[in-house]
């Protein structure tokens, strides 16, 4: 398996390290020619969503990525990556997000939480994180809430978290994503 990791800005190396630990090959997307290489899935990392949006557009990556996700390419967006998947950005996930949702003082914090489909508690690192304010279609399912706010969701082959699983040593969210990639279409419908 080979997973493309958007490497324009933000915490992309940490995702690659986790995927390598799980025996998965990666390649970085820095320009359109990188995107043309074969891939089984895409990761959009945390960082700064405005900067990432601008670069996606400038580099001609915005439309090809959007189209590939609409055509079923599995994608995992963390933090700014979740913002990019939301309505008003790439718009492939039917979610509305609130950016920097935890305000200045609580901008960065760590907690443990439950995620549907994963055993036990998952360490969750939030850094000036968004949360999902609204789920806009029945195809999109919340997977986790923290303090009453949705912090993880799945829609078909799209996964998004407000927190940064790549900044902890817990491999659960990435394992969940790898499983999602391999699921047959029929499982996807009942997931």
* Residues of this chain that bind ligand GLN (CB under 6 A): 46-49, 79-80, 83, 99-100, 127-129
- Backbone phi, then psi, for 69, in 5-degree steps? -70, -45
| CB nearer to ligand GLN: pick between 3 and 44 | 44
Out of 14, 15, 16, 79, the active site residue is 79
Of 183, 164, 175, the C-alpha closest to 44 is 164
Please indicate whether residue 79 is annotated as part of the active site: yes
Please indicate whether residue 185 is annotated as part of the active site: no
| CB nearer to ligand GLN: pick between 113 and 191 | 113
Spatial separation of the C-alpha atoms in residues 18 and 71, rounded to whole Å? 26
Q: Quote the least distance from Cβ 47 to ligand GLN, whole Å.
A: 5
| CB nearer to ligand GLN: pick between 61 and 129 | 129
Q: Quote the least distance from Cβ 83 to ligand GLN, whole Å.
A: 5
Q: In whole angstroms, how far apart are CA 5 and each of 34, 59, 110, 170, 191?
A: 10, 15, 24, 19, 25
Q: Quote the least distance from Cβ 8 to ligand GLN, whole Å.
A: 13
| CB nearer to ligand GLN: pick between 37 and 110 | 110
Out of 15, 16, 89, 166, the active site residue is 166
Please indicate whether residue 140 is annotated as part of the active site: no
Q: Quote the least distance from Cβ 98 to ligand GLN, whole Å.
A: 10
Q: Quote the least distance from Cβ 31 to ligand GLN, whole Å.
A: 22
* Dihedral sign (CA 128, 130, 158, 152): positive
| CB nearer to ligand GLN: pick between 2 and 58 | 58
Of 51, 80, 53, 81, the C-alpha closest to 159 is 81
Spatial separation of the C-alpha atoms in residues 172 and 120, rounded to whole Å? 10
Q: Are 75 and 69 in contact (CB under 8 A)?
A: yes
Spatial separation of the C-alpha atoms in residues 50 and 66, rounded to whole Å? 16
The catalytic residues are 79, 164, 166
């Amino acid at each position: 398996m080979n997973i493309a990791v958007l490497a324009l800005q933000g915490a992309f190396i940490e995702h690659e390290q986790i995927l390598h630990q799980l025996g998965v090959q990666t390649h970085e997307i820095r320009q359109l020619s990188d995107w043309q290489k074969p891939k089984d899935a895409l990761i959009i990392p945390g960082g700064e969503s405005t900067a990432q949006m601008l670069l996606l557009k400038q580099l001609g990556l915005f439309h090809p990525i959007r189209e590939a996700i609409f055509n079923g390419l599995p994608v995992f967006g963390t933090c700014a990556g979740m913002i990019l998947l939301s309505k008003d950005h790439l718009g492939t996930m039917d979610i509305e997000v609130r950016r920097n949702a935890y305000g200045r003082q609580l901008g960065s914090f760590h907690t443990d939480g439950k995620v549907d489909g994963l055993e036990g508690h998952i360490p969750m690192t939030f850094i000036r994180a968004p949360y999902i304010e609204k789920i806009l279609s029945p195809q999109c399912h919340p997977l986790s809430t923290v303090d009453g706010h949705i912090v993880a969701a799945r829609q078909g082959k799209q996964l998004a978290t407000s927190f940064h699983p790549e900044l902890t040593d817990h491999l659960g969210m990435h394992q969940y994503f790898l499983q999602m990639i391999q699921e047959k279409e029929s499982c996807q419908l009942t997931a």
